[in-house]
Amino acid sequence: MKTSESPPFRITPSTCREKLTRVLVALVFCLCLGCHRDDVAPDGRIHLTYWEKWTGFEFEAMKKVVEMFNASQDRIYVDLLSISQNERKVIVAIAGGNPPDVAGITSEFVPVLVQMNALYPLDGYLERAGIDGSQDFIDSYWRVCNYEGCTWALPTTGAALAYHYNKKAFRKKGLDPENPPRSLEELEALDPLLNDYTNDRILHATFLPSEPDWWPFVWPMFFGGKLWDGKRTITLTSPEVVEAYEWVASYSDRLGVERAQAFRGGFGDLFASPQNLFLSGKLYSELQGLWMDTFVQKYSPDLEYGVAPMPTKTEDLYGVSLVECDIIFIPRGSRHPNEAFEFMKFVTGQTGAETFTTGMRSINPRKVRSEGYIENHPHPHIEFFDSLAMSDKAQASPRISMWYEMLDEMKAVFDKVWLHKGEPYDILKAAEVRMQERLDQDMDRWESVRDVRKESWEEFIEKTRKGEDPL
């Protein structure tokens, strides 16, 4: 039914258009404002965005270094952001055209990021700044920053894995706490002395290869084995690797799969907790990183523990350790790579590195340290961990472009071996076939683009060597 009256809310076309135009203008303005990144600080300094993966006290340690840098500068200002799973988010940010200017991740991701063309090479900057990384940094940490003939990152802090053992428990059972086992044979010989279990549950255990389960790929290292030849061949069925996983299987065999699983499962896979198996004194020894001391101090300050290299198959391997480091790099698409390198230089320089690693209670990746640095370091075993990292026997994770896939595959291998889901050789063979296929695909693809990539890297290096704007 028509009425002569206009609806009360009716608006005239002209008013409507005006209002809509205003709304649209406001919307566009808001969108522009949201997309805008303020690169210049109120004091006229260039703003750098720095994504670091740490939270907690580690983040505070880096924050202190950033504050020192900002205080030392009148040209550059660094905004530090804590971003978890940095390596993935940086890639997405690069793809989206808005990456941070500088970012920090762990070193095992360098190959994948390089092959994805996600980083800027640093060679030109280093040459211009007169920095010789091979002289300045510990070899094992410096090596992981290099890939395909270029330097992609600088190490900020280092770590190493070692055999942690409960001295008090050793002493109580009549063992010399200052002489931990050196060989795997000696380690296994401790089982009858220290293990304590009933028919259906383990009360105390000497050692568990499954605790923690963070490095399922690490065991071949202590048998002299490698997961791949560093080129085009996966070597999971090499005798040393097979022997390593047979050794893993022997543990769950001796302890009983169900009992061993229940022993771990009872604590809900806890790490940073007083209920952690090692911290609570139920597991007498384990392979852990130097950060364990922080958690000992926090959750079990009365635990009297010692550290030593992980026992090995043969004496000549003794001292082998998995070393890891954090790195800092310039993502492709960074808007201020020159300034980003200035900041990286500071963070990895003498003052920056020592401040950060003291706060982190970790290894300083620089070879030369200031007087009193080691003596005043808060980690009680820093000299020992330092020696592991500096040793010729220090080994990094496999530097393979498909690291995540390899890691997942080795986790599945470890689980199957541990749970006796087949013979170790058969399990490793299946994984080797699968990983070899993937490596072949990756290498073929990489070889098809490598030359083009190298040309663009050379161009960037040349410009930065001359001090020109590389972008």
Partner 1 sequence: MTKGDRHNLFLGLLFVSPWLIGFVVFMAYPIFASLYYSLCHYSVLADPVFIGTKNYTNLFQDSVFRKALTNTLIYAAMALPLNMLVALGLAVLLHHPIPGRGLFRTMFFLPSLVPLVAIAILWSWLLNTEYGLVNHLLSLVNVPPIDWLGSTQWSKVSMVLPTTWGVGGMIVIYLASLQEVPQHLYEAARLDGARFWRQFWHVTLPLISPVVYFNLIMTIITLLQVFIIPYIMTKGGPARSTLFYVQYIYDTAFRFLRMGYASAMAWILFLVIMLLTLIATWATAKRIYYSAD
Among 56, 230, 265, 467, binds partner 1 (CB under 8 A): 265
Residues 165 and 136: beta-carbon distance below 8 Å: no
CA–CA separation, 187 and 182 (whole Å): 7
Query: Which residue from 46, 91, 110, 400 is in contact with partner 1, where contact means CB under 8 A?
Result: 91
3-state secondary structure labels for all residues of 458-470? HHHHHHHHHCCCC
Degrees, nearest 5: CA angle 265-267-273: 145
Give the nearest distance from C-beta 447 to partner 1 in angstroms. Answer: 14
* Contact call for residues 440 and 402 (beta carbons, < 8 A): no
Q: How far is the CB of 224 from partner 1 (least distance, A)?
A: 26
Closest to partner 1 by CB, 142 vs 152, is: 152
95 binds partner 1 (CB under 8 A): yes
- Which of 18, 185, 229, 258 is close enough to bind partner 1 by CB under 8 A? 258
Q: Fill in the per-residue mask, 103 to 142: x = in contact with partner 1 (CB under 8 A), - = not in contact.
A: ---------x---xxx------------------------
The rounded distance, in Å, linking the Cα atoms of 338 and 180 is: 49
Q: Kindly write out the interface string for residues 3-32 of this chain, putting x where it contacts partner 1 by CB under 8 A and - elsewhere.
A: ----------x--x---x------------
Nearer to partner 1, 411 or 465 (CB): 411
CA distance 243 to 123: 41
Q: Does 53 bind partner 1 (CB under 8 A)?
A: no
> Is 266 near partner 1 (CB under 8 A)?
yes
The region of 42-50, 60-68, 91-99, 345-353 touching partner 1 under the rule CB under 8 A is: 91-99
Pairing of the two strands 154-166 and 150-151 = unpaired
Q: Give the number of residues in contact with partner 1, rule: CB under 8 A.
A: 37
To the nearest whole angstrom, how small is the minimum distance from the Cβ of residue 331 to partner 1?
10
Backbone CA torsion sign across 210, 214, 220, 222? negative
Q: Which of residues 296-355 bind partner 1 (CB under 8 A)?
A: 332
450 touches partner 1 (CB under 8 A): no
* Residue 140, amino acid: S
3-state helix, strand, coil in the chain (%, to 5): 50, 15, 35
Q: Which is nearer to partner 1, 391 or 401 (CB)?
A: 401
Task: Return d(Cα 206, Cα 42) in angstroms, integer.
Answer: 59
Least distance between partner 1 and beta carbon 351 (Å) = 35
Number of alpha carbons in the 13 Å side-chain half-sphere of residue 182:
9
Give Cβ neighbours of residue 298 (< 8 Å, ≥ 6 apart).
272
Please report, as ranges, the residues that interact with partner 1 according to CB under 8 A: 13, 16, 20, 88, 91-92, 94-95, 112, 116-118, 200-201, 258, 261-262, 264-268, 332, 402, 404-405, 408, 411-412, 415-416, 419, 421, 430, 434, 445, 449
